[in-house]
Structure formats: C-alpha cells, structure tokens
A and B are shown apart, each in its own frame.
Chain A
Amino acid sequence: MADSPSLAATAAAIRQGRVSPVEVTRGCLDRIARLDDRLRAFITVDPDRALAAARRLEDEAGRGQWRGALHGVPLAFKDLCVIRGLPTSCGTRTRDYFTAERECTAASRLLAAGAVCLGKLNMTELAMGALGDNPHHGHARNPWAVEHCTGGSSSGSGVAVAAGFALGAIGTDTGGSIRLPAAACGITGLKPTYGRVSRAGAMALSWSNDHLGPMARTALDCALMLQAMAGPDPLDATASVRPPDDYAAAFDAPVRGLRVGVPRNFFFQGLDLEMEAAVRQAVAVLATLGARVEEIRLPDPQVLNDITSLVSRSESTALHGGLLRERPHELGPFTRARLELGLSVPAHDYLQALRLRARLARTFTREVWSEADVLAVPVIPEPAPPLRAAIEGPLEEIVERQGRFSRLTRPFNGLGLPALSLPCGFSSAGLPLALQLVGRPFDEATVLRLGHAYQRATDWHAREPGLA
C-alpha cells in the first residue's frame, strides 16, 4: 500500500496546514538525490529554484494566499517542455535542442496554479520510441524491476511518479508516449483529446498526433492537473476553444448505466495471458459498479495505426530533418532510421493520409459512440519486457518490437480521442498490468470519472515499488 500520499492528498494536506510546501519539496529532492542515480528519471534537477519557490509558496500560504489547487505541490516536466532558465534537450545530445520565446503553456499553467517545478525529465531521443531507452542521458529504469523497460517516450515521467520523486508530471503522447510508461510503471496517465491541452512551448514530433497530458498516481490527480492545463490558447492554433469541463466535480455522478464497450477485434489478439486476464477482470469490476458491458466491433484499428504512422513519419522528418542532415552521427540508430523513413513518403500520400484520418474519425464516431460511452482495452500487449533484450539486435527486430509495444495505443492518437491508462494488476513477475479507458472527443470527464470509480473499488494504483 501507499506510504507516500497522492497529489490530491498532498494538496489537501498543504491547504489544511498539516504539511508545508518546503517539507514536501525537500522530501522529493531527498528521494531524487538518494535514488535517481539508479533510476535515471531526471535529465535536470533544479533543487535551488524548487526550494526557493516552495519557500515563497509557504510564505503565501501563511498569509492565507493560495495560488490554486496545486499550491505547493512538486511536479516535474518532460524535457521537451520549455521552462524558463532550464535547458531543453528533448532527449538529444544537444543541451538546448528546442527553444521557444514563451514557456510551455501547459507547464506554466500548472505553475500558476501553485505547483513547484523540480526539474526536467528523461525521455527517449526526440520522443521517438516506445520502450524508454536513451543513448545520451542513460536508459530510464523501471522502479518495479530495474532491468525492465519503463515504456516511452515519457519514460522519466513514468519513473518519477512511480518512484515518488514527483507527485505528478507532464508527458506527451504521439503514439502512446503517456500511456505506455504509465502502464509499464504502474501509474495513471491521460492522453486528452487532440486540442484539449495547448502544445505551445513543447517540442513537436508530429503536429497532427501530438498531445500533452498529466501523469500521476490516480485519476483524481490527473483530473486536478488537467483542470489547470486545459483550455484555449492563442499560442496554439490547434488548441480547442471549448471551455474545459469541471473534471473533479463530474466524479460525483454515478457510473451506473455507463455503456462500456469491449472490442471483439484487434485489441485482445496476441495478448499476454496475464495481461488479458487482468484487463478482463478490471472490466468485470466496472460491471459490478453498474456499468453495462457490451462486446462491440471497431472499425479496423490497424488501418488507423498505418495512417497515423505515415503521418508521424512525414511530420517528424519535416521537423527534425535538419538534425538528420547536419549531425546524423549524433542520433541513435533507431531515431535515425525513423527519420530517414519519412524522407520516402511523397507529399501526395501524406495528404491522402490526413484526408483518410478525417474520414475515419467521423466513421468511428458514427459507429462506435452510438453503441458505447467508453471503450475498455489493454494498453500494452505484455508486461514491460527486459530492456537489454528489447533494444539490442538487428534494427528490423527493434522496429518490430517498438511497433508491437505501441499497437494498442496508436489508434487513439490518429482518432484524437481521450484515453486513460490505469493500473489493474501485477504479473507473476511483479510487473504492472494496465487498463485503457477511451472516451468520446472532449469527454475526459467521463473517462476520468470511470477511472476514479475503478480506483475507489481497487487498490492497484496505491501499490508502490519497494525502493530502498
């Protein structure tokens, strides 16, 4: 069970004066200093500024001044978010690979709500890769089993929350990069709807498929973070003008009567047996809570995977082709191969893929959301594999492994739908297993509400890795 409190519990304890921002921040920094040499969650730790911010917030709290729901809560940000005064390597060898005139909107909104920035988190090179390895900053290590993958690309975000280094983190997700490390590290992570959270001030990998979102211990924690992060932003033309819902308030509504669709096709094929059993057991728990569980057939998710991959390859090469042309020796072999692939996609086919994506999004809405309110599927096909074996061998095998690990998350990037990963058990080897809940566009409230109800009925999210 959890020794360290969740983000929501910590925020409440600070508000009630039971713990101070400085105490909480110092606790995180001490833990990072003690354990992160082994786990490699951070690229940059910023202890002096974090403690200075915590002291300011503590003084304000003493005067009864509260900045917002996250007052005094220590968070950390993936190293592709621009934070004033800190480098942004994006997992590359270059210290300041990405720069922007303004700070990352999502991060600055969290800080405006009172959060403390602990530093910048490890990630796969250029946010490519599903496994969590990094040739420049060290491979992030899974707190549940250090020889196993963390999932990527938001590897440090997954590790930092699971290891208790930070109470929440920003991740980004182009093909599964929030949900894969959340699943592999046994925490909760939300990829919101495309456009729900501004992408401004964060390095793009693929404009059409990139999403920023919260990673934390629980669905409630994610709701509190999303509340601060979400909303229109004039700095991002793709940010929706829709006002955000009140996510935590939606938790008061019952889940009885919600229609939970379990796909007959694709998602349960070729699945590890323990993973399948845990996800189906989680669905059974949802049924005991009053959800109406029904099997449904989805429009072919593999087509979505193919279209999303082609768009991502094209856009990432357009964005990062300069690095490929000018300093290819600085890139790891997997990243280099992915960028080279984008050079082979004709503009005509890239545009056809975008047109097809729009059609498939409409078809999905028409065929699926008339039958279900939420989909329940696995996140990863198997528990986190051993890292060394996963990243070694011929390139074609590495590409195949990476594609396989993200095949259950990528369709929802192409569709832009909100998708929540949450822990639903452990394998016999002690590795986390995970459930993915997917909702209608902009219906994060229902996805989070169902996730919260599941976490009130179970305790998988409260378990912590035994780190000395």
Chain B
Amino acid sequence: MSESKLQQAEVAALLGVIERLAGELSLAEEPARFTTALEDGAPAPGGGGAPGAPGSSR
C-alpha cells in the first residue's frame, strides 16, 4: 500500500469510530465537560479518596 493510501486508511478507520459513537451524544455534551469530569472525579482537596489517605472517609 502506498504512503498516501495507508494514511487514508488510517484516517478512515479513526473517523469511522468517531462517527459510530458520536450519534449517541446529547446536545448538552461539549468538550469543556472533560475538565469538569476530572474535577468531579477527584478526591476532596487535601486528602486522597483512597483508604489510608488523609481526609479519606472509607
């Protein structure tokens, strides 16, 4: 396969994945929700959420 055909095949595969999954997205889902997902998933400041960490409740 030539270099450009290889590139086209790789991009097509990646775009296929995006197209397949993007149909499930709601109108409320936007890129900025990534950073809020990190903040929301974090343990409380100053203490890990894992057992033994300062501030852990488990």
Question: Which of A93-101, A224-232, A276-284, A337-345 makes up part of the contact surface?
Answer: A337-345
Asked whether, in the complex, the Cβ of A337 is within 8 Å of the Cβ of B38, the reply is no
Asked whether, in the complex, the Cβ of B32 is within 8 Å of the Cβ of A358, the reply is yes
Does A248 belong to the interface (CB within 8 Å)?
A: no
Quote the shortest CB–CB distance from B29 to chain A (angstroms).
5
Does A445 belong to the interface (CB within 8 Å)?
A: yes
Tell me how many residues of A have a C-beta within 8 Å of chain B: 58
Question: Which of A77-85, A140-148, A252-260, A423-431 makes up part of the contact surface?
Answer: A252-260
**B2-30 CB contact bits vs A (8 Å, 1 = yes)?**
01001110110111011101100100011
Asked whether, in the complex, the Cβ of A195 is within 8 Å of the Cβ of B11, the reply is no
Asked whether, in the complex, the Cβ of B48 is within 8 Å of the Cβ of A416, the reply is no
Does A47 belong to the interface (CB within 8 Å)?
A: no
Tell me how many residues of B have a C-beta within 8 Å of chain A: 41
Instruction: Enumerate A339-365 residues with CB–CB distance to B below 8 Å.
Output: 340-341, 344-346, 349, 351-359, 361-362, 365
Pick from A374, A442, A449: contact of B42, CB under 8 Å = A442
Q: List residues of chain B with CB within 8 A of the CB of A257.
A: 51-52, 58
Quote the shortest CB–CB distance from A260 to chain B (angstroms).
10
Does A303 belong to the interface (CB within 8 Å)?
A: yes
**A292-315 CB contact bits vs B (8 Å, 1 = yes)?**
000000000001001101100100
CA A294 to CA B40, docked complex, whole Å: 24
Asked whether, in the complex, the Cβ of B50 is within 8 Å of the Cβ of A242, the reply is no
Asked whether, in the complex, the Cβ of A194 is within 8 Å of the Cβ of B51, the reply is no
Asked whether, in the complex, the Cβ of B25 is within 8 Å of the Cβ of A359, the reply is yes
The closest CB in chain A to the CB of B22 belongs to A352
Does A441 belong to the interface (CB within 8 Å)?
A: yes
Q: List residues of chain A with CB within 8 A of the CB of B30.
A: 355, 358
Pick from B7, B31, B48, B58: contact of A351, CB under 8 Å = B31
Q: List residues of chain B with CB within 8 A of the CB of A179.
A: none
Pick from A310, A361, A373, A446: contact of B18, CB under 8 Å = A310
CA A445 to CA B48, docked complex, whole Å: 7
Q: List residues of chain A with CB within 8 A of the CB of B15.
A: 310, 345-346, 349
Asked whether, in the complex, the Cβ of A359 is within 8 Å of the Cβ of B29, the reply is yes
Instruction: Enumerate A434-451 residues with CB–CB distance to B below 8 Å.
Output: 439-443, 445-446, 449
Q: List residues of chain B with CB within 8 A of the CB of A254.
A: 52
CA A395 to CA B30, docked complex, whole Å: 36
Asked whether, in the complex, the Cβ of A195 is within 8 Å of the Cβ of B45, the reply is no
Q: List residues of chain A with CB within 8 A of the CB of B47.
A: 245
Does A396 belong to the interface (CB within 8 Å)?
A: yes
Q: List residues of chain A with CB within 8 A of the CB of B32.
A: 358
**B37-57 CB contact bits vs A (8 Å, 1 = yes)?**
111111101111111111000
Does A92 belong to the interface (CB within 8 Å)?
A: no
Asked whether, in the complex, the Cβ of A344 is within 8 Å of the Cβ of B50, the reply is no
CA A257 to CA B51, docked complex, whole Å: 6
Pick from B22, B35, B46: contact of A355, CB under 8 Å = B22
Quote the shortest CB–CB distance from A311 to chain B (angstroms).
10
Does A44 belong to the interface (CB within 8 Å)?
A: no
Q: List residues of chain B with CB within 8 A of the CB of A322.
A: none
Indicate whether A365 sits within 8 Å of B40 (C-beta atoms), given known contacts A356-B25, A446-B53: yes
CA A351 to CA B21, docked complex, whole Å: 13
Does A243 belong to the interface (CB within 8 Å)?
A: yes
Indicate whether A362 sits within 8 Å of B48 (C-beta atoms), given known contacts A310-B18, A396-B1: no
CA A396 to CA B40, docked complex, whole Å: 40
CA A189 to CA B57, docked complex, whole Å: 29
Does A105 belong to the interface (CB within 8 Å)?
A: no
Q: A256-B51, A349-B19 are in contact. List 8 more A-B contacts (CB 8 A).
A: A245-B45, A313-B14, A341-B11, A345-B11, A355-B33, A358-B33, A441-B38, A446-B50
The 8 closest A-B pairs by CB, nearest first: A354-B31, A365-B41, A253-B52, A373-B50, A358-B33, A442-B42, A361-B37, A257-B51
